Structure 1
Amino acid sequence: MRRTILMITVIAAAIMELIDTSIVNVALSYMSGNLGATLEDTSWVITAYAIANVIIIPITSFLAAQFGRRNYYIGSVIMFTVFSFLCGQATSIWMLVACRFFQGIGGGALLSVSAAIVYELFPKEKQNVASALFGIGIFVGPTIGPTLGGFITEHYSWPWIFYINVPIGLAVVLICSRLLGEPPFRPTPGRIDWTGISLLAIGVGSLQTVLERGETDDWFSAAYIVILTVVAILCLSFFIYWELKIKSPVVNLRVLKSKNLSIAALLTFVSGIGLFSSVYLTPVYAQRLLGFTPTQTGLLLLPGSLFAIAGLILTARLLQRGVPPVVMITTGMLLFVLFTWQIAGLDLDAGNGDFYIPLIYRAIGIAIITVPLSTLAVSGLEPKDIPQGTALNNMMRQLGGSFGIAIINTYLTRRNAIHRTDLVAHITLSDPQVTDRLAGYTQYFIGKGATALDARHQALGLLDAGVVRQSNALSFGDAYLLLGAIFLGSLPFLLLARQGRPQAGRPKGHHRPRQMPKASVPLLDH
């Protein structure tokens, strides 16, 4: 009974952390209006959380060894809970962004350490059960986040999407303080690689700022963009050099000598771009352009979550039966491309029903990509290198998500300006359709009591609003097509993956690339 309670508790904590990666997406417009921020600034609410996860995930094993797993886990839950409350109390967009960053620092352990605890609770012969339980949580969290966020935002207010973490967090702390112990074998802590952590944090933060603010501030015409670009290049370059040089790196890049891990890490980065960018784009598109309520927007993604769970179970079975991971990854990526193509073809008259099928393609595609990618990542690794390989793979997914949102925002801005210019160029008073529409608008406002001059100005404003809305719609279509192009462009790398048996010298039966009973374990950093 104690084991069951602890298992449910830590899985609930992991799902809570995953929900927070997407629960804010449908509330961005409300946050933007309430805090007086632009959409570009508000997107930092998502990316700050993702960056914090990227920084903390690779070092959770060290921190658990340094402070004791029990202390580190409970401390992380407390940190996550406190900053969740402070997020709801934020009075400015940058206060909210800062709180989200520290919430993400605490949340990193809620995923990786929770996984280790669950696997420890199950005997070796039932590890597949633990894998299935945690695998479902991996998909349920992000997919129900928008639905839950939409309901809360519409019926209450956006701060409550953070306040709901407080009672759950307190319950997790209370239960774990009584039931959670130390692992049977506590690793000996080594020296912490502060240099590597600092270089990673500064490099990723600088690059993220360049991607987020570059378009707004005309890129390299702004001095600070130039400075941060140089800082990002120098820090990330020296980070790679440093991590390859020292004996106990915070991120062991030496494992990338495995060709399969290198390919999987690249494709995981791409899948992160698609996963997080699509969950970011769809709510904004539905609310800002189509007028969907937050609840309606959240419900768009709900059917896909059910298919994602089914896809996860089916994928695990197919992998156990010997279907090569490369085949599954290719199928999933093509399904995601189909999703982007269908969504890009929607117009401003689209309704709920037009989204369901494409979003189901997206959900199934992402579901059948993730587990095979994790299987491919570890298929060429020695057992001792698997924890670091999975940590690196998890980091690439989060990094891809934060970069993807920044790139998509920049691309939207540029394409919107181009489409607006093109549309305006075709609107001339010599065009009978334009003059007829303008006359109709003018008469409408005159009928509402406006003077002829005021009615003319209001008619021109309404015509311009139509141009803005249409250019935005075309820009979103281009953004979805860009995601599809990124996925298609990454497919040839799969041809480089080794699909044969393990390399010579590996103990027989260890980590076959085609047949891994614990296929979804590599999803988790433990």
Structure 2
Amino acid sequence: MATLTSEERQGGDSLKNERSDAAAPVALPPLEGAARIWGTLALSAAVFMNVLDTSIANVSLPAIAGDLGVSANQGTWVITSFAVANAIAVPLTGWLSQRFGQVRLFIISVALFVLSSWLCGMAPNMTMLIAFRVLQGLVAGPMIPLSQALLLSSYPRALAGLAMAMWSMTTLIAPVTGPLLGGWITDNMTWPWIFYINVPVGIASVLVTWAIFRERETKTRKLPIDSIGLALLVVWVAAMQIMLDIGKEHDWFQSPTVVVCAVVAVVGLIYFVMWEQGEEHPIVDLSLFKVRNFWAGTLAISVGYGLFFGNVVLLPLWLQQFMGYTATNAGMVMAPVGLLALVLSPFVGKTIGRVDPRWYATFAFLIFALVLWMRSRFNTQVDVATLMIPTVIQGVSMAFFFIPLITLTMSGLSPERIPAASGLSNFVRITAGAVGTSVSTTVWERRASLHHAQLVENITDGSLPTELFLKGVGASGLDPTQALAQLDRLVNQQAYMLAANDVFYASAALFLLLIPLVWLADGPQNGAGQSGAAAASGAH
């Protein structure tokens, strides 16, 4: 079947909705007073819980692996299994929401997330834990896109920017809070509690959301299942995610397993795109990429998020492995990032309707570049105050990052396409985060090896600094072997510090290069059209 244009698809959808008397989100009046506040809190809590689970288990892996009697490498599947399942489920949100209704699907997703979290904590062995993490990732998929759609439908057009400000704070602060909370729980309690903490939060979110949104359910349509598209999606996403997760351990394309995963991912993606373009009821609406603002906004937010997330992972790793920080202390260094984001996000949300969002996004990328340039100046003598200065400043860029880019991405789309657009955009963003993590850690280690080789060239038997160092540590009671081990430790510390500086500096440059991409999106046509409310109300 020929592929429909975005305009034809929108028109077809509208006609079908009229025939079935479907109530589009625009027909629903916005929430008011306490209902709006509690609704926002319930949706945000679910999103925070979801995003938190992508990072909270990272610092707990040694404890989980040791308790369940597996190796550290096997323990990483606790992270991989959730990421693969979540990446597969996110782009299905548009189809699922039309089939079951936005409110009903969100409630079911959160309820099953609570159940799977409890099962993860009760898992008696690694096999069962991985199985429950897969279930957790699958049911978590629709939560973020649907929370965004429900939140936008709850606010009047003039306050849609403020709604997105509330939503964006949870998605940006949770990845930073995860390692801090996970480290504290692991140090002071037992690892199952990193999953049990989801239970009360999730139950509260379900109850409040149902009480407030049950009368705001969207109409459903019995769409046929695109089984072939779904199968292709599962194959290529799973292959890509496994390649990213095991690549560093297996020296990337030197490993036949990584090569096979890469080939399967590429071939599967090609066939998936070809199939979806000719499918009448595609599992993923790829026609969204025909809208300039959608593809430009999605690309900018995804690459920017990949750079951000890669560096969020890298800095705590460097602090813990080579600077002597505990997991809790490393998390505390990252925690202040939310301070200015909390203060400034409401301001951005309130003014986004009067300011070209491209200027806000440009400002965010400039601040990100500044922060990473500051980090590229770190050395092994850096103190906690110096570490925290760029972290605090980064909160400014976070406040100006998500809201304007989501506004650009969703502008011009009709209300019934928002769940599909949000799901697809979040899928690309999540994938970019995984790529950013793999690339940043791989480049870090490769650059560290290079710096190590360059540093040891200057360490010779006739070198005066080397002789003085060995004599100094020898005087403290170390034998020659121990003295050389101490020297190697210092060389490693310097090498990884220089490598981290390289990654920070390159990331700063890439953020500057992203600025022209933002300006590929169309500017606002009028005051109402430039806010996120345009997406929620179908103003365009």
Alignment TM-score, normalising by the size of structure 2: 0.82
Q: Which residue of 1 aligns with 2:488?
A: 464
CA offsets 1:184-216 (integer angstroms, 9 cap, x no match): 431213112232232223212212332333343
| 1:325 corresponds to | 357
Matches of 2:162 and 2:351, distance apart in 1: 16
Could you tell me how far apart the structure 2 residues matched to 1:24 and 1:159 are?
10
Shift of 1:221: 3.3
Q: State which of 445, 450, 457 in structure 2 corresponds to 1:418.
A: 450
Equivalent position SS for 1:188: coil
Q: Which residue of the partner structure matches residue 513 of structure 2?
A: 489
1:357 aligns with 2:372: no
Task: Write out aligned runs for 1:89-488 (5 A).
Answer: 89=122, 98-119=131-152, 130-173=163-206, 181=214, 183-321=216-354, 323-381=355-413, 385-445=417-477, 455-488=479-512
Deviation per CA, 1:203-240: give whole Å up to 9, x if none.
12212332333343233332222222211110011111
1:196–1:171 Cα change, 3 Å: same
User: Matched residue of 2:352: which SS?
Assistant: helix
SS in 2 for 1:111: helix
Structure 1 270/319 Cα, relative in aligned 2: closer, same or farther at 3 Å? same
Q: CA offset at residue 8 of structure 1?
A: 3.9
Runs (5+) with no aligned partner, structure 2 = 1-33
Deviation at 1:427, TM superposition (A): 1.4
Is residue 12 of structure 1 aligned with residue 42 of structure 2? no
1:271 deviation in Å? 1.8
Q: 1:133 to 1:499 in 2, by over 3 A?
A: closer
- Partner residue, 2:86: 53
Matched letter for residue 237 of structure 1: I
Aligned equivalents of 1:174, 1:378: Cα separation in 2: 29
Offset at 1:248? 1.6
Match of 2:23 in 1: none
Q: Identify if the C-alpha distance between structure 1 residues 163 and 438 changes in structure 2 by more than 3 Å, giving closer, same or farther.
A: same
Residues 291, 99 of structure 1: CA spacing in aligned structure 2 closer, same or farther, 3 A cutoff?
A: farther
Matching residue of 2:28: none
**What amino acid sits opposite 1:246 in the alignment?**
E
Instruction: Give the residue type in structure 1 aligned to 2:531.
Output: M
Q: Which amino acid aligns with 1:267?
A: A
Q: Which residue of 1 aligns with 2:18?
A: none
Q: Quick check: 1:207–1:229 contact (8 Å CA) kept in 2?
A: yes
- The aligned amino acid for 2:383 is G
Task: Note closer, same or farther for the CA distance 1:381–1:218 as it changes in structure 2 (3 Å cut).
Answer: same
Shift of 1:329: 1.3
What's the counterpart of residue 531 of structure 2?
A: 516
Q: Distance in 2 between matches of 1:462 and 1:421?
A: 17
The one-letter amino acid paired with 2:374 is Q
Shift of 1:69: 4.9
* Fraction of identical pairs, as percent: 32
CA distance in 2, matches of 1:36, 1:465: 30
d(CA) in 2 for partners of 1:16, 1:483 = 28
Aligned equivalents of 2:156 and 2:387: distance in 1?
Answer: 43
Moved more, 199-208 or 40-49: 40-49
Secondary structure (helix, strand or coil) at the match of 1:349 reads coil
Whether the 8 Å contact between 1:428 and 1:434 is mirrored in structure 2 is yes
Whether the aligned pair in 2 keeps the contact of 1:311 and 1:367 (CA below 8 Å) is yes
**1:463 aligned counterpart, secondary structure:** helix
Q: Does the residue aligned with 1:388 lie in a helix, a strand or coil?
A: helix
Equivalent pair of 1:371/1:520 in contact (CA under 8 Å): no
Deviates more, 1:359-368 or 1:233-242: 359-368
Q: Does 1:76 align with 2:76?
A: no
Q: CA deviation at 1:66?
A: 3.0
Tell me the amino acid that sits aligned with residue 503 of structure 2: A
Amino acid at match of 1:303: P
Q: Secondary structure at the match of 1:445?
A: coil
2 CA distance for matches of 1:398 and 1:302?
21
Structure 1 345/68 Cα, relative in aligned 2: closer, same or farther at 3 Å? Answer: same
Aligned to 1:451: none
Q: 1:5 to 1:305 in 2, by over 3 A?
A: closer
Query: Is there any run of 5+ residues in structure 1 with no aligned partner, and where?
Result: 447-454, 502-508
Residues 117, 393 of structure 1: alpha-carbon distance in 2 compared, 3 angstrom cutoff: closer
Query: Residues 410 and 535 of structure 2 are in contact (CA less than 8 Å); yes or no, is this contact kept in structure 1?
Result: no
1:60-96 deviations in whole A, cap 9, x for unaligned?
A: 2432443455654343224322332344456777765
How many equivalent pairs are there? 504
Aligned mates of 2:506, 2:159 — CA distance in 1: 42
Instruction: In structure 2, give the amino acid aligned to 1:300.
Output: V
The answer to whether the Cα contact below 8 Å between 2:406 and 2:532 also exists between their aligned partners in 1 is no
Work out the CA distance in 1 between the residues paired with 2:209 and 2:411. 34
Cα distance in 2 for residues equivalent to 1:420 and 1:400: 30
Distance 1:140 1:105 in 2: 22
The one-letter code matched in structure 1 to 2:99 is Q
